[in-house]
Structures are given as C-alpha cells and as structure tokens.
Amino acid sequence: MRQDDVGNNAEMIPEEAANYIKNNFNKGNIACMTGAGISAESGIPTFRGKGGLWEKYRPEIYATTMGLVSTFENKPEKIVDFLNDFYPFLLNAKPNPGHIALAVMQKEGILKAVVTQNIDSLHQQAGSRSVIELHGNAFRIRCTDCLKTIACEKDRIKEMVELLKMYRRQRLQLLRILSRYFPKCECGGRFRIDIVLFGETLPPDALKEAYRVLENCSLLLVIGTSLVIYPVASLPLYVKERGVKIVEINNEPSNFPCDLFIQGKAGEILPEILKIL
C-alpha cells in the first residue's frame, strides 16, 4: 500500500512505485537491502512475527555460541533437532520471482548490488552477481582463527544433518561427525558454519563493501526485513542522512521512516515494478 504525503494508506499502484523509482535513480545506482522476508515465498520461515523461527527456537540458545555450546553439552539432541528442522528449508528452497526480479534489474544495469542478511544463497542462485552477505552463508564454512572460508556443497550439509539425526543423543558420536565435516584448518583453527551469531562481529570486508555500495547509491530499496538487528538496521539511516530516498517493500511496515512504503509480498511487487521500469 502506497502511503500518500499525509501518511494515509493509498492503494499501491505499481506504476507509481516504478515511476518513483525511475525518477529517483541515475541508471545503475539503485542499491537494495534484503532480509528473510524476500525468501519467505521460497518456503524459508522468517525469524520474527507469526510462524517465525524464533517463535519455536529461542535465539539466545540457538543463535549464540554460548547457547549452542551449553545446550550441546547437556542436551545435544536439541541442537540436532533444530538443525534437522531448519536446514531442510534452506536445502529445498528455490529462488522466487522476487529474487529473480532483482537479478534481472542487476543484469539490466538498474540495480548495483544486493546487500543481504540472508544466508540461503537464493540471490546468487537467481543470478544476482554482486551479493554482499552480512550474516554469512549456510553453505559455507569459515575458520574460527584465520576466517578462511570454503564452500560446502548442499549434499555434504544434507549428509551431515542425516548423520547427526542418527546419533542425536550420543554426544561423542556427534562430536566425531562434526569434526569430520568441520575439519581443522592448516592455521590450527577449526572450521565452523559461516553464519554470524548474536554477539559475533560481521565479516569486516562485507561490511566495508556494503558501506561503499550504500555510499554511492541514489535510491535504496529495503525489502523484507524487520530492521531490528544491528548493525545492519543502522544502514538505511546512514543512507537517509545522505538525503537519499528509501523505498520499503514489506508485507507489514518495519516502522523505518522510509519515503515510500509499498505493502505486499516481495515476490509479487518486485516483478510488477520490473515490468514498468
């Protein structure tokens, strides 16, 4: 739903949104930031809100190192069950029309880059080239010490989750399996899934790259994110301070003071906008 100047919800007309976008960008200088909402139509649960992951799994346990380690010590089956619940969504997900529309905008030189909080690789699978992953990637492993990353094939992850499920209560067996899939690094560190947990710093290079992209954009699309996680949630403010227009696409407002709020599903709205651009 487009909000008119006095903030009333006016009927969202894709043409208006597209004209707004057309009038606010010099070709190729649109940037976008995405969150879990753009992958919702690919079947991956979002984190917050109705049916969100954190409704079922407390983030302080399942999205912090301390929570994961202490739960693994006492009740390893809880971690195994979480992985067994969460990973199949990621393994089976395919890009939806929202991801594809952004990839086409990039190919046509309209969109500069995608800054994402998502870890599902769906932007890359849709054909987006410059994807800046601020919270890591579920199909990559990273060394705890030297931060070296290695891609981890989906089949390998699937195999690991299956094996863990077989030994869900046997901690020693589980440790043996984990050390096989997360080997030692030649630097002496150990590999782990390359996902940024709470209390962990974001990958410095990715964060630097995100600032560079946002520094030069003349319009920012903020798509499918509740903007509650920092430091990512502060990025649109940084863009707004530069006087750059911000268009939010979300099925409910994130309460960020954007210039244009388009209510609805990213997988429906983005192809509409692309058609008119």
For the annotated catalytic residues, the residue numbers are 135
Q: How far apart are CA 79 and CA 185, in angstroms?
A: 24
Q: Which of residues 142-201 bind ligand BV8 (CB under 6 A)?
A: 195-201
Tokens 């109705």, residue located: 50
Q: Give 136-151 as a DSSP string.
A: EEEEEEEETTT--EEE
Question: Is residue 8 a contact residue for ligand BV8 (CB under 6 A)?
Answer: no
* Joined tokens for residue 98: 């929202």
* Joined tokens for residue 147: 């931060």
Q: Give 25-58 as a DSSP string.
A: --TT-EEEEE-GGGGGGGT---SSSTT-HHHHS-
Q: How far apart are CA 213 and CA 231, in angstroms?
A: 16
Q: How far apart are CA 138 and CA 246, in angstroms?
A: 29
* Nearest-CB residue for ligand BV8: 37
* Joined tokens for residue 33: 């930031």
Decide which of Zn ion, ligand BV8, none touches 8; Cβ closer than 5 to 8 Å per partner kind.
none
Q: Which is nearer to ligand BV8, 116 or 218 (CB)?
A: 116
Q: Which is nearer to ligand BV8, 100 or 218 (CB)?
A: 100
| Contact mark string toward Zn ion, 137..156, x via CB under 5 A | ------x-xx-x--------
Taking CB under 6 A as the criterion, the residue among 31, 266, 273, 277 binding ligand BV8 is: 266
Q: Which of residues 167-186 bind Zn ion (CB under 5 A)?
A: 185
Question: Is residue 41 a contact residue for ligand BV8 (CB under 6 A)?
Answer: yes
What is the total residue count of the chain? Answer: 277
Q: Which of residues 183-222 bind Zn ion (CB under 5 A)?
A: 185, 187, 189
Q: Which of residues 71-130 bind ligand BV8 (CB under 6 A)?
A: 117, 119
In the complex, least distance from residue 50 CB atom to ligand BV8, rounded to whole angstroms: 9
Q: Return the DSSP state at 64.
A: S
Q: How far apart are CA 84 and CA 210, in angstroms?
A: 32
- Separation in Å, CA 146 to CA 65, 72, 178, 182: 18, 25, 19, 14
Q: Which is nearer to ligand BV8, 188 or 231 (CB)?
A: 231
Question: Is residue 218 a contact residue for ligand BV8 (CB under 6 A)?
Answer: no
Q: Which is nearer to Zn ion, 43 or 183 (CB)?
A: 183
Interface contacts to ligand BV8, rule CB under 6 A: 35-37, 40-41, 46-49, 52, 63, 117, 119, 135, 195-201, 224-226, 228-231, 250-252, 254, 265-266
Interface contacts to Zn ion, rule CB under 5 A: 143, 145-146, 148, 185, 187, 189
